[in-house]
Amino acid sequence: MRDQPVEVDGITVERDVPIHVGDGTVLRADVFRPTEPGDYPVILAMGPYGMGLHLADGYPANWRRMHESYPEVAHGSTGRYQNWEVADPEKWVPDGYVCVRVDSRGSGRSPGFLDVLTALQARDLYDCIEWAGQQEWSNGKVGLLGISYFAANQWQVAALRPPHLAAICVWEGFADHYREGARHGGIACEFVKGAQARQMFTVQYGMGSRGPTDRNTGRPVAGDVDLDDDVLRQNRRDLYAELLARPVNGAFYQERTADLSRIEVPLLSAGNWGGMGLHTRGNVEGFLAAGSELKWLEMHGDTHFSPFYNDRGLGLQKQFFGTFLKGEQNGWLDRPPVELLVRHPGERFEPRFEQEWPIARTEWTAFHLCPETRELRTSPGASGTLSYQPEHEDLRFRLPPADHDREFTGPAAAKLRISSATTDADLFLSLRLYDPQGTEVTFIGSNDPKVPVGLGWLRASHRRLDTDRSEPYRPVHSHDSIEPLVPGEPVDVDVEIWPTSIVVPAGHVLELGIGGRDYSNQGTRIENAMYPTTGVGPFIHTDPQDRPAEIFGGTVTLHFAPDVQSYLLLPAIPAP
């Protein structure tokens, strides 16, 4: 039942507001608005994580780390309404915005079948936008804001063109469900297996008293009814089981991937260099492919949550939405289309504006893999072969240190000739940085505190390229068929390495790793961590159902010869 509005510290709060969507389902929303009557722009988010679950209750380690690193997040806010990956109403409502949070169907306090990122859910979000745009407290302009899931579904609904949608801010949100969310280079990623178990199924509608409690209302986050486990299982789709059953791209993944060319609204796409495994690629690809005339790309570092909530991130969001939801003349329209926080070791970032992506002055440089020295050189090395056992070792090729700093910012790729002792091989590529003492230099990533410079993946049987979409620096694989290897017979493969940025200081070494398993470092122990943190966070690829040892455990061989293209292509940015 819908609550009566209450006024708390200058904010009118309405709980469990009903929103009737197209098929008659009633979704529930919490609305935070100014107490003064008026017409206000709306900031809206819809997702499956339970709008009543406080960030500190659901994600205590992240809450602590964010406030320790950025005490400013607590300034001007009691934090009582701060939820995972969505805007803090206490930072927005005083500036004249209405904040609306919606539990997607089957989640939190909204009944229905839990099936995420479907076409139906995109229509639900469309209906929520139209509802918000026509309320008496609305000025008719709705903006979408949120991280990850609350960003990914923005691509989908914006392509449907709801009339009251005025702008979107896609903060670390993937765009291509197959290539970014489910299967990296064709290899099944186990992220969704853990995410749905710990973040979605725990707040599925009907968990009721067995689920978490809303600290503000004392009511169950996941509905006022208790459904038994069998009913709950019948009321949801196991997304991980679906992706395991679907190794090639098709209708299932396409339903969850937007036609980006149909997007018309102004957009800000904000990505994270350390978001390899889910979001980095999507923010860049979404920016490039969106049909919007007014669009901006911003790339940052640090954790998944701090850049969104800290003063810099909040300032960007408010300047962007102030322009398109309020009509403010605040200088945003004079902003260049691309802002990059260029990454240096030691978590130092140098902000720089650019006019395009990739950067036009990029010097695309092919560094050849030399088998005799294990170095990366600008000229090919000797003929020969190098082999490795996928589960136990990898091959390393080092770019010799220079006496000056070198910047590499943009997409990267590798071209290799490989053979396998079996009918397939999974290739895991990593870019790593080492200081003059030989110690690896890692970076705070969005989902792991020690990530490498870059990552790339490819299943050799998925090596066919989509030639219409591919570039030498960004190979795109069709993933529409499986072409097994002939054991021992070499084939050429192109491996995409997700966009990156690194200034390699003088004396430092950049290294390419090639192997058959996930990158891993010594790891970091984090209290209340949701998963092990050994360099790739939850984005692991170890499921034996997808990677049976008899196929993916065979010896892999790299082949080299004067007429063989075997190189790492890096985006070198010339010094000013």
Is 375 strand, coil or helix? strand
CA distance 530 to 199: 10
Q: What is the mean pLDDT of residues 74-90?
A: 94
Q: What pLDDT is stored for residue 469 in this prediction?
A: 96
Please count the other Cβ atoms lying within 10 Å of the Cβ belonging to residue 527: 8
CATH code (residue 119)? 3.40.50
Q: What pLDDT is stored for residue 62 in this prediction?
A: 85
Provide the residue range defining the domain that includes 225: 6-259
Mark which of 237, 259, 281 sits at the end of a domain: 259
Taking only the tens place, the pLDDT of each residue in 325-359 is 999 999 999 999 999 999 999 999 999 999 999 99
- Long-range (24+ apart) CB contacts under 8 A made by 75-79 are 78/9, 79/55
Task: Give 34's strand partners.
Answer: 11
Q: What pLDDT is stored for residue 562 in this prediction?
A: 87
In a domain, 90, yes or no: yes
- Count how many domains the chain has: 2
Taking only the tens place, the pLDDT of each residue in 238-249 is 999 999 999 999
Q: What is the mean pLDDT of residues 124-140?
A: 98
Taking only the tens place, the pLDDT of each residue in 516-550 is 999 999 877 777 677 888 999 999 999 999 999 99
Q: What pLDDT is stored for residue 16 in this prediction?
A: 97
Task: Give 208's strand partners.
Answer: none
Greatest Cα pair distance, the chain, in angstroms, is 77
Selection from 333, 273, 281, 342 nearest residue 304 by Cα:
273
Same domain, 246 and 132: yes
In a domain, 317, yes or no: no
Mark which of 259, 284, 312 sits at the end of a domain: 259
Between 447 and 524, the more confident residue is 447
Instruction: Show the CA angle centred on residue 145, arms to residues 142 and 148, nearest 5°.
Output: 145
In a domain, 358, yes or no: no
In a domain, 307, yes or no: no
> 1: pLDDT confidence band, cut at 50, 70 and 90?
low
Mark which of 231, 259, 287 sits at the end of a domain: 259
Q: What is the mean pLDDT of residues 347-373?
A: 97
CA distance 559 to 503: 30
Task: Provide the residue count of the chain.
Answer: 576
Same domain, 17 and 129: yes
CA distance 102 to 81: 14
Torsion of CA 502, 504, 508, 512, to 10 degrees: 50
Torsion of CA 394, 400, 404, 406, to 10 degrees: -40
CA distance 341 to 362: 16
